[in-house]
């Protein structure tokens, strides 16, 4: 099993914090985001780790990861970055991690233990975190609905009701070669310009709508966080004792 970290974009909402470095090098609790991710992956014995780079890619060379370069990082979205690593996705099961999140090794373990071709982790206690990050949690939260068998029914749409939100997607997923083949099959009708602009949550929703594809959704109750702004960092670091729902352990 391999892992791929998607780190091509700048993260413009971070403003000055990413003016001179990639978003994944922004620190939370004294450690760059990418080091939280690498620590979690390696503690679960995933050592074949790739990274999709773009903005200020030279600053990530010190981590000595297998590099896939998204030369069009400034004009494309997450799925385009993922496609840059298609060789790995075609050959082996891969855990995909966004580069602007931190989490504990247990999140990786949940995906390792899954038998699904496509699986994601989600936080059922999302409202606690979002209430600390935003004055109105619904300003940023998106729909997330599940079937009785814990498969994803809907993801990534705007809503004005918490009834449409059974959790929040964390930016962690598992894709087998068969799962990747299905993604490519469903999206093959899209023009390149459309593929370049599509988000991964839109890809997941498209699989559900066009192919009735079963995407396993796995609840995760450990510490984690998503960093979209400087205020997010302040929010997480106010949790000085490192308690849930943010970070439970630095080890």
Assess if residue 246 is contained within a domain: no
Q: Which domain holds residue 44?
A: 2-238
33-43 vs 105-113: helix crossing angle, rounded to 10: 50
Query: What band does 20 get if pLDDT is binned at 50, 70 and 90?
Result: confident
CATH code where residue 212 lies: 3.90.550.10
Domain total in the chain:
1
pLDDT at 242: 46
Phi, psi torsion values for 170, nearest 5 degrees? -95, -15
The tokens describing 28, both together, are 């939370």
Q: Is residue 125 part of a domain?
A: yes
Closest CA to 146 of 226, 204, 79: 204
Q: What is the dihedral of CA 55, 61, 66, 67, to 10 degrees?
A: 20
List of residues 6+ apart from 102 with CB closer than 8 A:
28, 33, 36, 37, 224, 225, 227, 247
Q: Is residue 248 part of a domain?
A: no
Residue 29 located in a structural domain: yes
In a domain, 120, yes or no: yes
Q: Please compute the mean of the pLDDT values over residues 93-111 and round it to a whole number.
A: 97
**Average confidence (pLDDT) over 38-67:** 97
In a domain, 249, yes or no: no
């Amino acid at each position: 099993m391999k892992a791929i970290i998607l780190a091509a974009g700048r993260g413009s909402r971070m403003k000055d914090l990413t003016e001179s470095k990639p978003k994944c090098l922004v620190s939370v609790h004294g450690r760059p985001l990418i080091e939280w991710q690498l620590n979690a992956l390696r503690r679960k014995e995933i050592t074949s780790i790739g990274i999709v780079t773009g903005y200020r890619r030279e600053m990530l060379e010190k981590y000595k990861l297998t590099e896939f370069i998204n030369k069009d990082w400034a004009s494309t979205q997450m799925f385009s970055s993922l496609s840059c690593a298609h060789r790995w996705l075609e050959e082996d099961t891969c855990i995909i991690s966004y580069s602007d999140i931190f989490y504990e090794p247990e999140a990786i373990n949940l995906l390792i233990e899954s038998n699904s071709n496509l699986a994601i982790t989600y936080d059922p206690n999302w409202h606690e975190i979002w209430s600390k990050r935003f004055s109105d949690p619904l300003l940023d939260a998106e729909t997330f609905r599940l079937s009785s068998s814990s498969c994803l029914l809907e993801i990534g749409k705007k809503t004005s009701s918490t009834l449409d939100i059974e959790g929040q997607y964390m930016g962690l997923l598992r894709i087998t070669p068969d799962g990747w083949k299905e993604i490519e099959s469903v999206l093959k009708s899209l023009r390149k310009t459309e593929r370049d602009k599509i988000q991964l949550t839109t890809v997941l929703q498209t699989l559900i709508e066009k192919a009735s594809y079963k995407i396993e959704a796995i609840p995760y109750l450990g510490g984690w966080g998503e960093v979209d702004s400087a205020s997010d960092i302040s929010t997480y670091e106010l949790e000085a004792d490192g308690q849930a729902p943010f970070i439970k352990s630095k080890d």
